Amino acid sequence: MTKEKVVIGLSGGVDSAVAALLLKKEGYNVIGAFMKCFSDVKNPLTGECNWVAEKQMAQRIAAKLGIKFVMLDFEKEYTKFVIKEMYKAYSKGLTPNPDIVCNTLIKFPLFWKHAKKLGADKIAMGHYARIMPFGKKFKLLAGKDKTKDQSYFLYELSQKDLSHTLFPIGNLTKEEVRKIAKKAKLPNWDKKGTRGVCFIGKVNFQSFLRKKIKGKEGNVIDSFGNIIGKHNGTMFYTLGQRIGSHIGIEIDKPHGTEEKKWYVAAKLKNNVLVAAPEGHGLLKKKEVFIANIRFVNKHKTGRMKARIRHLGEFHNGVLKHKDGRWKFVFDEPVFGISPGQAIVFYLKDEVAGGGEIRLK
C-alpha cells in the first residue's frame, strides 16, 4: 500500500537532505520543494545569487534520491511579511527575530498551502525539533541534539501546523545526520550549515538595514550622563551588544574601566545610547513584559524555564499574568535582554509558548 505523500522543504543543506532520505526509506511518496524567498544576496566570488547555488544542490539531492523536485517562489510574500516588517520593527527601536516570522508565515502555512496543491498529506522540514501527539493535540519538543535545537524558532506554530508536519531528524544529532548522509553518498554530506537570517544568510546587518533605514548620529553616554562617544542611530544597535569599532562605535572609556568590555545598556527616545561596562547593573534585567504571547497548547502560568535567544542558556523563573499583561520574572537578573527579541518558555523539553520581549 502506498504511504502518504509528503512535500519536504529541500534547502540544499544536509539536514533537509537526510530528512528526505529518511522519509523515502519509510515508504513515503516524497516531493522535494525548494523555497526561493530572497534573491538580493550574491556570492562575492562568482557574483551569482546565493539561492541559485542552493537550488542546484537541492536538485542534485532530489536526483540522487529519485524524488520529484519543484521550486516554490515565495519572494513576494517573504518581502512583504518578513523583510518589510523587520525594517519597521528596527525603525521603532526593536530587535525583531525574522526567523520566527519566516516560520510562522512562510515555511509552514504558505508552504502547506502549496503542498496541498501537489496532493500532499503532510509536509516535512529538516528542523532539529520534535512533535509528539498528546490526545487530540500535539506537543512541540526540543530536538535531541541540544547544540542544534531549533524549537526556539517554532513556538508560534499552531496546532493545525503541527498536525500535518513531520520533523524526521528531530531525534538525531548533527553528527548522526552527517554519518547517514556520508553513508548514502549525498553530495552535501560535509556542507557547512547556513548562518544568519533565514533565507538571507550572514550579512553585515547594519549595512543591510541602512538600505531602508536612514541613520542619524547621536551621543553615547555613560550611566552618569557623560558623553563618551557617537553612534549612527539607536535603531542599528541591540541591548547587550558589545561596543567597539566592529559596530561603528568608538568610546572614551572612563578612568578605571579601560580594560573592561562595554555594552549597549539602553536606548533613550532622543537618539541617545547608554553604554555600561561589564558587570554593571544596567546590563541586567530581573523581569520582562511579553507582547503577542502565543501558547502551543493552552495558557500556562507558573514556574518554567525560558530562553531569550536561540541556543542561549535556560533561565528559571515564573510566568505571570496580571492586570491584562504577561510578564516573566527571572530567579536571577539576566544579561543582554533586548526588546523585540523572543522569549520562549519550556517545561522540561516541551515548548510551552513564547512572545516578544518588552521592558515596559
**Are 220 and 198 in a shared domain?**
no
Domain that holds residue 239: 214-279
pLDDT the model gives residue 47: 46
**Are 221 and 96 in a shared domain?**
no
pLDDT the model gives residue 41: 54
Q: Give yes or no for a contact between 87 and 93, defined as CB atoms under 8 angstroms apart.
A: no
Mean pLDDT of the region 59-79: 95
pLDDT the model gives residue 43: 47
> Domain of 269: which CATH number?
2.30.30.280
Could you read off the pLDDT of 156-200 as tens digits, one per residue? 999 999 999 999 999 999 999 999 999 999 998 877 766 555 555
Mean pLDDT of the region 100-125: 95
**Cβ-Cβ contacts under 8 Å for 139 (sequence gap 6 or more):** 131, 132, 133, 296, 297, 350, 351
Could you read off the pLDDT of 224-253 as tens digits, one per residue? 999 999 999 999 999 999 999 989 899 999
pLDDT the model gives residue 238: 92
**Are 322 and 336 in a shared domain?**
yes
**Are 339 and 267 in a shared domain?**
no
**Measured distance CA(326)–CA(320) in Å, rounded:** 6
Q: Is the pTM of this model over 0.85?
A: yes
**Measured distance CA(103)–CA(203) in Å, rounded:** 20
Residue 67, pLDDT above cutoff 90: yes
Structural domain total, the chain: 3
**Measured distance CA(11)–CA(187) in Å, rounded:** 13
CA 102 to chain centre: 8
Q: Give yes or no for a contact between 2 and 117, defined as CB atoms under 8 angstroms apart.
A: no
**Are 49 and 189 in a shared domain?**
yes
Please pick, among 57, 86, 94, 102, the residue that the annotation labels catalytic. Answer: 102
198 in catalytic set: yes
**Are 25 and 85 in a shared domain?**
yes
Instruction: Please state, for a pLDDT cut of 90, what percent of the chain lies above it.
Output: 80
H helices of 133-204, in order, are 159-163, 174-183
Instruction: Please state, for a pLDDT cut of 70, what percent of the chain lies above it.
Output: 93
Q: Which residues share a beta bridge with 267?
A: 273
**Are 137 and 230 in a shared domain?**
no
49 in catalytic set: no
Q: Which of 231, 247, 279 is the last residue of a domain?
A: 279
C-alpha distance from residue 279 to each of 167, 241, 276 (Å): 41, 14, 8
**Are 97 and 119 in a shared domain?**
yes
Q: Which of 172, 205, 238 is the last residue of a domain?
A: 205
pLDDT the model gives residue 299: 81
Residue 137, pLDDT above cutoff 90: yes
Across 68-72, 254-258, 285-289, least confident range: 254-258
What amino acid is encoded at 349 in this protein? D
pLDDT the model gives residue 204: 64
pLDDT the model gives residue 38: 79
Could you read off the pLDDT of 3-61 as tens digits, one per residue? 899 999 999 899 999 999 999 999 999 999 999 987 765 444 444 457 888 999 999 99
**Are 288 and 227 in a shared domain?**
no
pLDDT the model gives residue 188: 84
Rounded to 5°, angle at Cα 46 from 40 and 50: 35
What would the grid cell of residue 203 be? 550579512
**Are 294 and 252 in a shared domain?**
no
pLDDT the model gives residue 211: 78
Residue 1, pLDDT above cutoff 50: no
**Are 81 and 135 in a shared domain?**
yes
Strands (E), the chain: 5-9, 29-36, 68-73, 122-124, 129-134, 137-142, 165-166, 218-221, 227-231, 262-268, 272-277, 284-295, 302-307, 315-322, 325-335, 342-347, 350-358
Angle between helix axes 174-183 and 14-25 (nearest 10 degrees) is 70
pLDDT the model gives residue 46: 41
Could you read off the pLDDT of 256-285 as tens digits, one per residue? 999 999 999 999 989 999 999 999 999 999
> Domain of 348: which CATH number?
2.40.30.10
Please pick, among 106, 124, 169, 198, the residue that the annotation labels catalytic. Answer: 198
**Are 57 and 197 in a shared domain?**
yes
**Measured distance CA(306)–CA(320) in Å, rounded:** 13
Mean pLDDT of the region 300-322: 95
pLDDT the model gives residue 207: 75
